[in-house]
Each structure stands twice: as structure tokens, then as C-alpha cells.
Homo-oligomer: A and B are copies of this chain.
Amino acid sequence: MERRPTLHDVAREAGVSAKTVSRVLNGDGPVAAATRERVQAVVRRLGFRPNLLARSIRTGGPDSTVGLVVPDLDNPFFGALAGGVEEAARARGLTVLLGCSGGDPARETEVVSAFLARRTAVLLVVPATGGEATAQARAAGVPLVFVDRPGPDADCVVSSNRAGAREGVAHLLGLGHRRVAFLDDLPPELYTRRERLAGYLEAFAAAGVTPADALVAEARTAADAELAVLRLLALPDPPTALFASHLNAATGAVLALGRAGRREVALLAFDDLPLAEVLDPPLSAVAQAPAELGAAALRLALARLDGDDSPPRTETVPTRLVLRGRPATARP
């Protein structure tokens, strides 16, 4: 439990001034080769590591950290997103500060505050509705990028929710399905859900087909979805395919189809998961790229830090249609 050696300790041992040691460490000013070697030897011998906090204070600039706020890490999607940010950050010598908002704007504000007090270089936020990250970041002069969902007046990086849903549903329509049900919270509160619903409707419009209202069903939890699907299957004109806008809905749909023995009904979900190939009925998916979402957000934020002051822009990370099982054509 010794006191950690400081730059002055190294300077004294090496018989040079503090500034010379600093020069060696940061490779700025000119240093004689012999001096450099001597200093480096002492650094190694003492196990000296410069105090990054002290450096940050002195240079006045932002600290070499990236602040990341996600709603919650139990959700593997946000875990993967955080992983993408971490990897991209580490590759650039940056360290990630991680906070969870729980989707609560007050908690988000608190976490952002704590990050700003640590002088993070940039801020990446999956926004809670009603948060004030934009104002906070602006007041502190810190670049802010919203991830997964847009927020007011700042850059953002999102998945191609609308196009992904459209392509997925278009694929089903292309297989001959006409009655394709949509499962989600209704009305969708989250941006991502609204976009997916829009994509679903666009696919119908593009195919010149009008979806019966009855085929858009409320499903917040897996239990909701299970009931909703049973109800849909009992219709005189039941759907031949289901589009689940989120994984809870997909879970319920798999359960309902399995229990009802209706494995011929095609099932497509937004968001992929490792076990999709093992499910019965098989689950096709519009897969997102959460890690890429995080990495792209960091890139954008660092560009801002670098002085890019063009108007806020939205970057879209493409989704990928993953088809599983035999092509489930419609049976008229």
C-alpha cells in the first residue's frame, strides 16, 4: 500500500527536471536519446504511471473518457451496443464511463450530470423520453450523440427500423401472404416501434394491399402477444403470417403457434436472437447491428470533438433480413 510514485519521484531518481520526464512521457519537446533512456529506465523500475486525472486538469481539455448512457443492461441489445462502444473507444485510447437510466428521465439527467462533472470528452445517450441531455451537453460544450432513438437537436445513430420492417413484410407479401398481422404496443410510444409500424404499412402500400385493421394487434408483454395471436388465429380469416415488432411479442407468438399446433404460420420478428434457429416454429428476423450502432455513434461524436460543426445529422445503420426454416409460403 505504498504511495504511488509521482512524476517528481521519477525526476529526482533520474536526476532531471519534472518537465523533462513529462517530455519523455508525452514525446513532445526534444530530449537527448541518453536522457530518454535513463528516464524510461526509472519509470519502469518505479512502475510509474502518470495520473491521468492530474493531466486532464492541467491541459484543461476534456478527459479521455466517453460517457455512455443506456436504459438497462439486462437487455442484450444494449449490452451489445455498450460492447461496440467499448471496443471502438479502447481502440482510440479512450475509456468508457457507463451509466443506466432505467428509461427514467430524472435518472438520465443525474447520470449525465455525473459524467459532465468528470469532463467526459463526449456523450452517447440512448435517450429516455423527457430527458434533457441536449441542454445539459450544450451547456457543458460536450458533443452529444443519441443512439438507437433520436433526441432533440443533436446527432443521432439509429437502425433502419422502417426500411427493415418494410423489407421483412415485403418479403412475406412476396411469398404470397396477404393477411400479415402486426404485434406491438399500441399506440407505439417508442420511436423505434413507430418506425417499424410505419415500415409495415409502407410494405402493404407498395404492394397495393390494404391490411385489415384487425390485423394490427396490441402486444406489450409475451402474455399479451400469446393471447393476441390466439385471438387472431380464431378469426374467420386468420393471418397466414405474423410480424412481431419486438422480442416479447415474438416470444408470445412462438408460444401461441406452438401450442395451437399452427406451425405453418410464418413468423418474422424485429431483432434477432441466438436461439432463433432452435425455436419451433422457426423464427425469421430483421437483425440489428447493436455494436455497429455504438461504434458509429462514437465516430460521429469524435468528429464533432474534432471541430465538425455542420448541422445535426442522422446516421442509419442497416438491418439484415435473416430467413430461417423452409420458405413459408401462404396457403390460400
Contacts and interface: CB of A to CB of B under 8 A. Distances in A.
A277 interface: yes
A140 B73 CA distance: 30
Nearest to A67: B95
Contacts of A152: none
A198 interface: no
A4 B54 CA distance: 18
A278 B258 contact: yes
B117 A100 contact: no
Contact of A280 (B90, B96, B97, B258): B258
Q: How many copies are assembled?
A: 2
Interface string A233-254: 0000000000000010001001
A47 B278 contact: no
Contact size class for A? 35 or more
Contacts of A140: 4
A140 B273 CA distance: 41
A73 B100 contact: no
Residue of A1, A2, A98, A117 contacting most chain B CB atoms (<10 Å): A98
Contact of A96 (B72, B97, B113, B258): B97
Interface of A: 1-2, 4, 47, 49-54, 56-57, 63, 65, 68, 72-76, 78-80, 82-83, 86-87, 90, 95-100, 111, 113-119, 139-141, 247, 251, 254-255, 258, 273-275, 277-280, 291
